[in-house]
Amino acid sequence: MPRPAAGEPQAGADLHTPVIAWFEQHARDLPWRDPDAGAWAVMVSEFMLQQTPVNRVLPVYEQWMARWPRPADLAAEAPGEAVRAWGRLGYPRRALRLHGAAVAIAERHGGDVPAEHAQLLALPGIGEYTAAAVASFAYGQRHAVLDTNVRRVLARAVSGVQYPPNATTAAERRLARELLPERDETAARWAAASMELGALVCTARNESCARCPLASRCAWKAAGKPPHSGPARRGQSYAGTDRQVRGKLLAVLREAVAPVPQAVLDREWDDAVQRARALDGLVADGLVEPLPDGLYRLPHS
């Protein structure tokens, strides 16, 4: 087994070394991981992958990058075009946020995604996770990148529990920082590798411990894999919810080439109160633009 790099704690290396070695053999061949993909490709993928699986993201991502290969290309379009191209990925406010980030990149950074973490964090629609992910995956920097997959790996391997808390805690952030490799390159590789491990092996359900490079070091497995004892985990209900109604209304507007009359939208859902609430929410979120005479369209400005 390779020895830890100078200045890297042995405890951390006991996790880093096997996970990174596993990643070198088993990482998926994804377009945003291509060495020539660039920071914009990484940023687009990070926005799309939030709460959405890779197989649904891939076709939309490839169409998006073909149409808007640089931030300035997207910034030159109306925000409604970003919503239209987002298709059925879900959580369409992400499209508006990505468009807003593209405009800011074009205006503040000459069209290039900034490399500094603070500058990334200052972009509209960019939170702590996305800033750390872009800085790490695109620029090889040393940051704690904590998505759901990484949090689950650390919860099981280090903390000995089946699932992390529903919301990221200060203790989780502290642990992730403590476990970061000292070298930037190794830290960036660890971020990608631990995320992939959670996505492919240490999954939320039906985890595959027999294939896990941390099986012999996993605190949860060593404890007999005790079941989750914390607060109930949030479900992802969809049918009959306002979110489903919003999706139906947006689908009509995405397909339309001209503003859509209220009567056309009314046909999409029988419950008038819920339909009105969903439409009002779309307008409030900036995803739909109301026009005179009861017409609606995707946002133009």
Enzyme catalytic residues? 46
Pairing of strands 289-291, 295-297: antiparallel
Residue 213 contacts residue 21 (beta carbons within 8 Å): yes
Nearest to 91 by CA among 57, 137, 43: 57
d(CA 69, CA 84): 17
Polymer length in residues for the chain: 301
Q: Which amino acid, 184?
A: D
Q: Which residues contact 74 (CB under 8 A, 6 or more apart)?
A: 68, 82, 98, 99, 102
* Whether the Cβ atoms of residue 221 and residue 51 lie closer than 8 Å to each other: no
Burial class (CB in 10 A: 0-12, 13-18, 19+), 290: middle
260-261 β-sheet, strand order: 260-261, 295-297, 289-291
Residues 6+ apart with CB under 8 A from 36: none
- Tokens of residue 178, six digits: 């403590």
Return the axis-axis angle of helices 242-255 and 79-86, rounded to nearest 10°: 110
DSSP 76-139: TS-HHHHHHHHTTSS-THHHHHHHHHHHHHHHHSTTS---SHHHHHTSTT--HHHHHHHHHHHH
Are 132 and 117 in contact, with CB atoms under 8 Å apart? yes
